[in-house]
Amino acid sequence: MSAVSVNLLLVEDNRADARLVQAWLQDGASVLPARCHHVSYLRDAVDALRGNHFDAVLLDMSLPDSEGIDNVDRIREVADDLPIVVLTGRDDEAFGLTVLQHGAQDYLVKGRHTGDYVNRSVRYAIERKRLEEQLVRLAHFDVVTGLANRVRFVDRLEHAVARATRRREGLAILYLDLDGFKLVNDTYGHTAGDWLLHQVGKRLTNCVRDEDTVARIGGDEFAILIEEIEALQGAITVAEKLLAEVGAPYYFKGTEILVGASIGIAPFPASGQDGETLMNHADIAMYRSKESGRHGYQCFTQEMRLETSRQREAEKALERALHAGEFELFYQPRVAVDGQRIAALEALLRWRDRGTLKVPQSFIPLLERTGLIGEVGDWVVASVCAQIQTWREVGCDVPLVSINLSANQLRDVGLSRRLRRILDSYDIRPDTIEFEITETLLLGKDETVKRVLQELRELGCSIAIDDFGAGYCSFAYLRDYRVDVIKIDRGFISGITAGSTEALLVGGIIRLARDLSLKVVIEGVECREEVEVLRPCNPDEFQGYLFHKPMEAAAIRKLLCFAPAPPNPDVSQNWH
């Protein structure tokens, strides 16, 4: 380390000691060229600190106007960020420790050390203080954006709430979550993602006053504390400004990037009396804003809290349901168009909740939100495998079985490994299983989804795009993901008539699928007329209430086992 000139404050009333220390510090052999300002009283030291910059203080413990550890406390009150090296006549380890605990960086016992040692001590004290400050910075600021982090935000919020309570003022917290940030990360990479977060942080900071606090408190979540606010309307005005700023285009290396934001507002004291409650309530309002169509804001209401606690109850009930074995699978056959042969079975999840059978729409979104979908999804695959085994044992010729996967499951990089293990443990060949992915849920070109789908195909399972045509990106999916089957959504089929736009569209989709060597299933067929219109389009399979409704495994067993050609006459003889 090269020697740097540092400015020291020496507080020492004993003239002989002061001269000795100064001589050491200015010694030619010294590693620390120092300018040294000497005072004999603590009050003079305090004055000197107020008007000047110093790099460190050498502080005697015994001064005419102050004595002992108080000296350290007093200096720290005035200059908290200054390294302190204590000079003491006491060679006492316990006292040394107390000195350090009060915030000094080192202590020197008079008459025991050489000049080099004193120099090194001062120099290390400065370095240690710098590192300490760096650590404090890391603990309180976010590295990506330079904004305050959650720890600092909570700290500032607690102080602000105490002050607002004393002065009977208002304040508000705005919780902001970016819409579409994941897509930016997935499309342009993490460097672009970090750059964007930094830009968003800058824009948010520009929208508020210097006294307000902007923090990054999670991946793409920010919190803004607005103090001294008159009424809710003030917070709403800020929210509108933030939305407009964040929503304006960004240009990363010449590419335009667009993101939106959802904001939840919790004003004090109306939404809560303490920091923690306010943060929870702003978070609840933010989620509500996300749910009610993104890029907007919502103010917290007590009704939202009730709704959230109802949701929490429902989440707990689902967790119980999984462990209490309340989930069941129904199966709906797919029939080949060339006759009534059962070409495949689709496994459909049901929840028998206190005697009532619930359909997936009523609980799958909750499973997704809680992350339970992964566990339930694995259970579905294991149950399908166990069921195939049972059907086979009684001599049924089991066709392909398709299983629905939700987008969240496909973002789980461990999925294919776990599914392979499940299939192996039941001795089920992967080509017996097809996975259906819902087109509406596959957001954008998600690299993880792409990889997981590829792994499932490599396992030997086939992939179907479910509800094809219901979303907006059907054809992009055909380009981005390799699939084997498309299932045309019921929306096209319902009430279809010959020569209608729907009929032409379905015909076109099927011709396209043929060119791409994809199999086509038409779902949701409810009446003969629909079949008559659709059959000339030449799809591969039909599925719908007209043929079979979803049914319990026992009913499927009858269907399969009375199917035309029993596979193994010996087994079938046994069970008849």
Q: Which of ligand C2E, Mg ion, none interacts with 406 (beta carbon under 5 to 8 A by kind)?
A: ligand C2E
Cβ atoms of 428 and 389 within 8 Å: the answer is yes
| 543 forms part of the interface with Mg ion (CB under 5 A) | no
Contact string (CB under 6 A) for ligand C2E, positions 485-524, x = contact: -----x---------------------------------x
Task: Give the number of other CB atoms < 10 A from CB of residue 378.
Answer: 17
Instruction: Give the residues across from 171 on adjacent strands.
Output: 268
Q: Based on CB atoms, which residue is closest to ligand C2E, 324 or 359?
A: 359
| 439 forms part of the interface with ligand C2E (CB under 6 A) | no
Q: How far is the CB of 134 from ligand C2E (least distance, A)?
A: 47
Q: Based on CB atoms, which residue is closest to ligand C2E, 283 or 436?
A: 436
The residue from 208, 214, 285, 380 that contacts ligand C2E (CB under 6 A) is 380
The residue from 36, 526, 563, 567 that contacts ligand C2E (CB under 6 A) is 526
Contact string (CB under 6 A) for ligand C2E, positions 179-218, x = contact: ----------------------------------------
| 436 forms part of the interface with Mg ion (CB under 5 A) | yes
| 348 forms part of the interface with ligand C2E (CB under 6 A) | yes
Q: Which of Mg ion, ligand C2E, none interacts with 186 (beta carbon under 5 to 8 A by kind)?
A: none
Q: How far is the CB of 455 from Mg ion (least distance, A)?
A: 20
All residues at 6 or more sequence positions from 501 whose CB lies less than 8 Å from its CB, including other chains: none
Q: Dihedral, CA atoms, 129, 130, 133, 135, nearest 10 degrees?
A: -110
Q: Of all helices (H) and strands (E), which one includes residue 119? A: helix 115-140
Separation CA 148–CA 137 (nearest Å): 9
Give the three-class secondary structure for 115.
helix
| 553 forms part of the interface with ligand C2E (CB under 6 A) | no
Q: Based on CB atoms, which residue is closest to Mg ion, 298 or 332?
A: 332
The residue from 404, 409, 416, 462 that contacts Mg ion (CB under 5 A) is 404
Q: How far is the CB of 468 from Mg ion (least distance, A)?
A: 8
DSSP β-ladder status, 519-522 and 34-39: unpaired
- CB pairs under 8 A, 24+ apart, for 561-566? 561/394, 561/395, 561/396, 563/341, 563/342, 563/396, 563/397, 564/341, 565/397, 566/395, 566/397
The residue from 119, 332, 383, 416 that contacts ligand C2E (CB under 6 A) is 332
Contact string (CB under 6 A) for ligand C2E, positions 405-434, x = contact: xx----------------------------
Residue type present at position 558: K
Residue whose tokens read 């089920």: 428
Task: Give me the sheet containing 170-179, strands edge to edge.
Answer: 213-216, 221-229, 170-179, 260-268, 297-299
DSSP string, 407-423: HHHHT-TTHHHHHHHHH
Q: How far is the CB of 253 from ligand C2E (least distance, A)?
A: 38
Separation CA 209–CA 45 (nearest Å): 36
Interacting residues with ligand C2E (CB under 6 A):
332, 348-349, 359-361, 364, 380, 404-406, 436, 438, 466-467, 490, 524-526, 543-545, 550
